[in-house]
């Protein structure tokens, strides 16, 4: 399947997930869900399995609060291991190949004056993204609905920089994360515009294993600021690197999905997709 077709399918799946959220208590049937996105049940089933690898019914399980609560109950030990070792465990996890370099105080203060930033637009299985990079690494990866709005937001992040629409290796390496096989992925370098506290939070996010989820409180405790869950939430909301810095893996202690800079429905889709992928890999072992 082409990336373009995956992106089209995701738009339909996103609408289907919204329908499931609104009608979860009634346990909607395949026919009801497919009707909400105006495709036949047979076509929707095939489309959904091609995108997620599992049936809509199986995927719905990963979106439930009960499922999220179960994962949260197991996360403390995982975060302890990540905190002590600096790694999340198995291979193919973000922190094994992502390195963060914060911008200097001068760069942060002057809004990236004289900083050259390349940017491009790309299609992914979770929607369109804007990716941007400095000579030191990736500085932005953001899902968007409108190109002009996304570019305007990027320019507001770095008001004094010089922008060029061009794709470079930093962007290509980052986009490779959306592929299912990461074995040939080069180390991704990030050049981030953030306060020391924000960068500390973002570094902690990289230690959350794929398909796992933690709470805002967990993050606060593991950066040594147990009473700063609200500040942690604010820092997570400022994360400039979608998916690669996995802020989608942080939810409320209650099991509620919580907010997401790029939409709560997209957050649920990514969490469900990662959970489905993990189950499929486990079944193959």
Question: Which residues are part of the catalytic machinery?
Answer: 247
Phi, psi of 117 (to 5 degrees): -125, 125
In three-state form (DSSP H/G/I as H, E/B as E, the rest C), the secondary structure along 68-119 is HHHHHHHHHHHHHHHHHHCCCCCCCCHHHCEEEEECCHHHHHCCCCCCEEEE
Residue with tokens 């942080």: 250
Comparing C-alpha atoms, which of 41, 49, 40, 63 is closest to residue 9?
49
What residues contact 116, with CB distance under 8 A and at least 6 apart?
134, 135, 161, 162, 164
Chain Cα centroid distance, residue 53: 18
CA 47 – CA 15 distance, rounded (Å): 13
Residue 124 Rama label (left phi>0; alpha psi -120 to 50; beta):
beta
Q: Tell me whether strands 188-192 and 116-124 are parallel, antiparallel or unpaired.
A: unpaired
Cα distances (angstroms) measured from residue 160 to each of 115, 116, 188, 190? 8, 10, 25, 19
DSSP state of 38: T
């Amino acid at each position: 399947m082409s990336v373009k077709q995956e992106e089209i399918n995701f738009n339909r799946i996103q609408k289907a997930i919204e329908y499931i959220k609104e009608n979860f208590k009634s346990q909607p049937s395949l026919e009801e869900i497919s009707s909400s996105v105006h495709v036949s049940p047979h076509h929707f089933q095939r489309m959904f399995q091609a995108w997620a690898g599992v049936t809509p019914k199986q995927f719905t399980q990963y979106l439930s609060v009960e499922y999220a609560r179960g994962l949260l109950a197991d996360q403390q030990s995982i975060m302890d291991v990540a905190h002590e070792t600096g790694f999340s465990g198995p291979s193919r996890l973000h922190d094994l190949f992502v390195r963060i370099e914060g911008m200097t105080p001068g760069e942060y203060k002057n809004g990236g004056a004289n900083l050259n930033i390349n940017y491009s637009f790309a299609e992914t299985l979770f929607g369109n993204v804007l990716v941007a990079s400095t000579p030191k690494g990736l500085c932005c990866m953001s899902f968007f609905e409108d190109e002009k709005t996304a570019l305007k937001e990027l320019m507001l992040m770095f008001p004094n920089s010089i922008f060029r629409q061009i794709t470079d290796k930093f962007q290509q390496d980052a986009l490779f994360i959306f592929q299912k096989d990461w074995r040939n992925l080069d180390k991704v370098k990030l050049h981030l515009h953030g306060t020391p506290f924000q960068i500390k939070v973002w570094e902690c996010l990289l230690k959350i294993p794929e398909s796992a989820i933690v709470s805002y409180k967990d993050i606060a405790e593991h950066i040594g600021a147990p009473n700063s869950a609200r500040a942690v939430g604010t820092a997570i909301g400022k994360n400039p690197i979608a998916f690669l810095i996995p802020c989608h893996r942080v939810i409320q202690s209650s099991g509620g999905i919580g907010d997401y800079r790029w939409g709560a429905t997209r957050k649920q889709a990514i969490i469900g997709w990662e959970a489905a992928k993990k189950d499929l890999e486990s079944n193959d072992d």
